[in-house]
Amino acid sequence: MKFMAYLAISILLISKAFAAQTCAAWPQWNTFKTHFISPQGRVIDLGSQFDITTSEGQSYALFFSLVANDKSTFDSLLDWTEIHLSEGDLSTRLPAWQWGVEKGEGKILDSNPAADSDLWIAYTLSQAAKLWQERRYAVLSSVLAERIIREETARIPNLGLTLLPGPSGFKKQGSWKLNPSYAPLFILKQFAELYPHSPWQQLHDNSAKMLINTAPKGFSPDWVNYSVEKGFYHDKRSPAVGSFNAIRVYLWVSMMADDATYKKELIQQFAPMAEYVIESGKVPLEADALSGKTSGTGPSGFTGALLPMLKTMQASQLITTLQQQLMMDTRFTTTRYYDSVLYLFGTSSLNERFKIDKEGNLITNWSAECQ
């Protein structure tokens, strides 16, 4: 009996220790908040002309605040986004892509919405509704999801239902301009589960095929064109180069559950990128999707973004080395918004601060252990 009592106490202490670890403060998130988010809930791209704020920045910060169980920041981000990017009502207007301060006046600089940001906002709201038990988030998410399908997709011949980068400016004379990094499959899968009577499953499957078909050498491009006559093709305005946009493709794929549909095919398709990093010890700044040629060395954020994919390749020694390199110079975490975003995504996914299951449900450390 004494042994059983001792065992029970030991298990309890271990459980509490694990809970304390997973529920611990997230210093990297606090650093991001301190340097990039205003008290009003605006994510600022420091050093940019007009100190711009993008719907992308707002959407990512919303996700991080949910992962951090930081509801007050979440609500301030949501309020700022709705007031300043959606003219006061997210349910009636998709958020404008870019806002900034010009000649002392804060205003929308580019009113065209960005589909990737809209997806992330709608997705994060849907998960916040579950994790924080707030129905208003679920209602707003469903309205946004409906608007995305209606305003930011097109039925393209031979491709089917396809996500457009935004409502306008991406179709010209029978040709469409697409961005592979705009469609995280786990978001599309979650919406297929939440809204089974809408065509999200079609969009999910078609997006997976697009990711594979636009990366013949295992490297994704930033942008790609499509027409019925040419299929996928590149031109001067949409070269085959993959860099600051495409780095997210590998990140989103690595964040999928191991048993998620298309995960194995996508990891296999993008193995050349991971293999290049393993062999060279660095992440390229650019990679040509058609030739597979790489050049330059990517910034710190690129390294952070590739860590979860390297984990799938069981490159534990290289991961340790790259993490040490990142820790040696953390200045980017206080000055470079985009690098900081990639770093937060990559490291929090690697360290399993959150997981995403095969249906696209977000599972956070705090959702069970910290209650």
List, by residue number, the catalytic residues. Answer: 56, 116
CB of 240 within 8 A of CB of 217? no
Q: Rounded CA gap, 370 and 142, in Å?
A: 28
Cβ atoms < 10 Å from Cβ of 250: 28
Cβ atoms < 10 Å from Cβ of 96: 23
Give the torsion through C-alpha atoms of 50, 59, 75, 334, to 10 deg.
Answer: -60
In terms of Cβ atoms closer than 10 Å to its own Cβ (0-12, 13-18, 19+), residue 351 is: middle
Q: Rounded CA gap, 330 and 27, in Å?
A: 12
Q: What angle do CA 48, 50, 110 make, to 5 degrees?
A: 100
* Distance set, CA 255 to CA 283, 305, 332 (Å): 18, 10, 23
Q: Rounded CA gap, 371 and 364, in Å?
A: 12
Return the biggest CA–CA distance within the chain.
80
Q: Rounded CA gap, 201 and 208, in Å?
A: 11
Element (H, E) at 187: helix 185-194
Give the torsion through C-alpha atoms of 314, 318, 321, 322, to 10 deg.
Answer: -90
CB of 173 within 8 A of CB of 228? no
Name 36's Cβ contacts closer than 8 Å, sequence gap at least 6: 43, 44, 45, 46, 57, 61, 337, 340
Structure token digits, residue 103: 């000649």
